[in-house]
């Protein structure tokens, strides 16, 4: 199911949803009742991610990224996905390499030769919104307005390969850039703590965690740790996302692996180097087979491909704890 | 005392970049080499500079060594004044609080326009595709003075960029303001592995200011696909100091992932 619709202007396609259509989705389809939503990654992805969906994620490939959810999307071979790509080094090459993603709003395309070559070969179409432009589109989606103005993108070629527009600002009379609201089909957030209802806490910085949760049709939270609901009411300043925005909660210790989870575990640089080194279809195929297809789920991946000793070592290396509580 | 210093082109580029940062100011730092420049500057020269990153770290004091590729990890956000997110981070630059921005680039043209998107061919059928803007477009649009850090290679200095990812002076004086970009902003310096450039106040064209000690102006200019303006007096930039090299090699990048490059030498 693809919510909203794809608009086309010349060579440029973009996702756009009328704010009232999104509001009606929120009225009719988003539950307000505090009910347990704890499911497996397999169940969450099967239920809430469909072929053709637009997905966004927070934070980065190397820090607090929803890597176990991305691997599950690949395992289920979702098709024709459109990614809003920021701080993504490996997710975009993996999703394109597995045949899951066909369009990318950039952001930051990804790292290494594989994804660059895929663009050159025409296997994936890109549109250039820039990081700030995409974040603002998601903020517009989160504010329930059809667009927001900004004083960047102007004068750049990104304007020609996105649907950003220049108009005369009615207040200053100067040219101003508008970017359309983005309401992704699905947002993936990997968090430090969540309760079974979907209340979630991130410690540290983020890209647009709350904005993406507000703007997206469906929200899947994966959490290192499941905590009691009362914890949130004891310290509300630390709530990143309240439960009623969230559709599914997945308990995913080491869910950011091979990236780091601040104050929990460090990056596995050796594994990251293997991802960085992927250049050919053969290498991509081998990586996906070994790390995704040949294991049933995240737990089996950790058990058989990472191992307790490695995880213990990565935990030991996470010595910076100030600020992350 | 004169003696020969040996270093890589990358080390020189990082060191001279670090010397440009002003203490007591704010700087919006881009991904990659600019992160390393900011670390070196903070360690040696500017303890009171406030660094800002697009992922929402306001004023971090990075833990060394640099974990390559990371942005937003616990090392890069250590001892920040504030932790936020991207929309708030760009609010600090959009309102004029960012004195400097610092960015890498694939290509740069005489007006300081930056390409970080693709090389050769067309947008739909590029010969080589790269990561794109990231937050570079916002940094180059909003910050008062943008510093571009780029290897001194001919294919990178071109009359016209293949794709204008992040704005310099566009096509000349007044063009930024006509496009609607914030008044009084624009590229300030181009730091390369051989030289330092500024921009002429009137024409807004890239101007050679100084070269690495021992290099001639011709040696620097012949490697560029356009001819820059020349300052009335071309200065001389000393090679990396012992302190700069020690901090880079021992504290920031002991694995030498970032600082490796072409070997150079100059009289210290």
8 A C-beta contact, residue A263 and residue B74: yes
Q: Do A204 and B176 touch (CB under 8 A)?
A: no
Domain annotation covers residue B268 = no
Q: Residue B69 above 90 pLDDT? A: no
pLDDT for the residue B68: 81
Mean pLDDT calculated for residue range B255-260 = 92
Among residues B62, B55, B87, B49, the alpha carbon closest in space to that of A204 is found at B55
Mutate to test the interface with A, among B51, B62, B67, B73 (most CBs of A within 10 A): B73
Could you tell me the two tokens for A238? 């630390």
Query: Is residue B68 in some structural domain?
Result: yes
B212 lies in some domain: yes
Would you say residue B261 lies in a domain?
no
Q: What is the pLDDT of residue B247?
A: 98
Contacts A11 to B, Cβ<8 Å = 124
Which of B51, B67, B131 to mutate to test binding with chain A, by most A CBs within 10 Å of its CB?
B131
For residue B114, the distance in angstroms to the closest alpha carbon of chain A comes to 9
Task: Indicate if the pLDDT at residue B18 is higher than 80.
Answer: yes
Question: What is the C-alpha to C-alpha distance for residues A195 and A214, in angstroms, rounded to an integer?
Answer: 18
- Chain A interface, best mutation among B129, B136, B162, by max A CB count within 10 A: B129
CATH number of the structural domain spanning residue B232? 3.40.1080.10
Helix runs in A59-199, H state only: 67-75, 91-97, 113-120, 131-143
Measured CA to CA, the distance from residue A103 to residue A124 in angstroms comes to 5
Q: What is the pLDDT of residue A93?
A: 97
pLDDT mean over B249-258: 94
Cβ contact A157–B63 (<8 Å): no
Confidence at residue B78, expressed as pLDDT on a 0 to 100 scale: 94
Give chain B's mean pLDDT. 96
Question: Is pLDDT of B89 > 50?
Answer: yes
The minimum CA-CA distance between A104 and chain B, rounded to whole Å, is 12
- Give B70's pLDDT tier (boundaries 50, 70, 90): confident
Q: Could you tell me if residue B240 is inside a domain?
A: yes
Range of the domain at B92: 4-256
A80 within 8 A of A285, measured Cβ to Cβ: no
Q: Tell me, what's the pLDDT at A1?
A: 44
Contacts of A275 in chain B (CB under 8 A): none
Binary contact (A158, B133; C-beta < 8 A) = yes
Q: Do B85 and A209 touch (CB under 8 A)?
A: yes
Can you say how many angstroms the Cα of residue A233 is from the centroid of all Cα atoms in its chain? 27
- A5-317 maps to which CATH number? 3.40.1080.10
* Residue B1, pLDDT score: 62
Q: Looking at the domain assignment, is residue B267 inside a domain? A: no
Spatial CA neighbour of B71 closest among A268, A322, A62, A276: A62
Quick one: pLDDT at residue B67?
Answer: 85
8-state DSSP, B116 = -
In chain B, % of residues over pLDDT 90: 94
* A85-111 residue pLDDT tens: 999 999 999 999 999 999 999 999 998
């Amino acid at each position: 199911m693809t919510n909203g619709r794809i608009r086309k202007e010349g060579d440029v396609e973009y996702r756009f949803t009328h704010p009232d259509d999104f509001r009606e989705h929120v009225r009719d389809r988003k539950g307000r009742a505090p009910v347990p939503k704890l499911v497996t990654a397999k169940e969450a992805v099967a239920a809430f991610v469909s072929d053709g969906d637009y997905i966004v994620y927070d934070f980065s490939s190397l820090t607090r990224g929803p890597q176990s959810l991305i691997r599950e999307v690949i395992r289920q071979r979702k098709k024709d996905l459109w990614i809003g790509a920021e701080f993504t080094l490996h997710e975009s090459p993996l999703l394109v390499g597995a045949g899951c993603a066909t369009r990318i709003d950039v952001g930051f395309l990804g790292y290494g030769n594989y994804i660059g070559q895929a663009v050159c070969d025409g296997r994936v179409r890109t549109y250039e919104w820039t990081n700030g432009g995409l974040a603002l589109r998601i903020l517009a989606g989160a504010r329930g307005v059809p667009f927001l103005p900004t004083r960047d993108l102007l004068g750049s070629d990104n304007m020609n390969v996105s649907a950003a527009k220049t108009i005369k600002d009615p207040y200053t009379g100067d040219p101003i850039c508008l970017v359309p609201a983005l309401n992704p089909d699905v947002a993936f957030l990997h968090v430090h703590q969540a309760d079974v209802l979907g209340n979630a806490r991130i410690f540290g910085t983020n890209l647009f965690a709350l904005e993406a949760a507000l703007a997206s049709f469906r929200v899947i939270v994966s959490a290192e740790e499941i905590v009691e609901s009362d914890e949130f009411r004891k310290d509300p300043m630390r709530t990143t996302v309240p439960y009623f925005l969230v559709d599914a909660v997945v308990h995913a210790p080491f869910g950011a692996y091979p990236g780091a989870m601040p104050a929990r575990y460090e990056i596995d640089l050796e594994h990251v180097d293997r991802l960085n080194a992927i250049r050919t279809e053969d290498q991509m195929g081998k990586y996906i087979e070994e790390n995704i297809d040949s294991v049933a789920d995240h737990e089996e991946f950790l058990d058989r491909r990472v191992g307790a000793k490695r995880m213990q070592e990565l935990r030991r290396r996470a010595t910076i704890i100030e600020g992350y509580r | 005392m004169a003696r020969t210093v040996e270093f890589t082109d990358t080390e020189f580029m990082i060191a001279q970049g670090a010397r440009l940062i002003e203490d007591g100011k704010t700087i919006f730092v881009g991904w990659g080499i600019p992160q390393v420049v900011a670390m070196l500057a903070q360690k040696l020269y500017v303890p009171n500079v406030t660094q800002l990153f697009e992922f929402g770290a306001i004023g971090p004091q990075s833990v060394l060594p640099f974990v390559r590729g990371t942005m937003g990890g616990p090392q890069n956000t250590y001892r920040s004044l504030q932790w936020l997110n991207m929309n708030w981070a760009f609010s600090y630059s959009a309102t004029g609080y960012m004195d400097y921005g610092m960015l890498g680039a694939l290509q740069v043209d005489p007006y300081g326009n930056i390409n970080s998107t693709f090389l050769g061919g067309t947008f739909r059928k590029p010969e080589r595709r790269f990561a794109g803007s990231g937050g570079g477009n916002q940094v180059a649009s909003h910050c008062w003075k943008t510093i571009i850090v780029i290897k001194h290679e001919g294919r990178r200095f071109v009359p016209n960029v293949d794709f204008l990812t992040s704005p310099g002076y566009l096509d000349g004086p007044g063009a930024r303001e006509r496009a609607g970009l914030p008044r009084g902003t624009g590229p300030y310096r181009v730091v390369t592995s051989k030289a330092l450039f500024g921009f002429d106040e009137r024409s807004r064209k890239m101007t050679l200011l100084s070269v690495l000690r021992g290099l001639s102006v011709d040696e620097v200019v012949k490697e560029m696909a356009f001819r820059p303006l020349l300052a009335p007096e071309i200065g001389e930039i000393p090679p990396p100091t012992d302190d700069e090299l020690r901090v880079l090699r021992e504290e920031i990048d002991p694995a030498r992932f970032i600082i490796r490059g072409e070997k150079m030498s100059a009289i210290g």
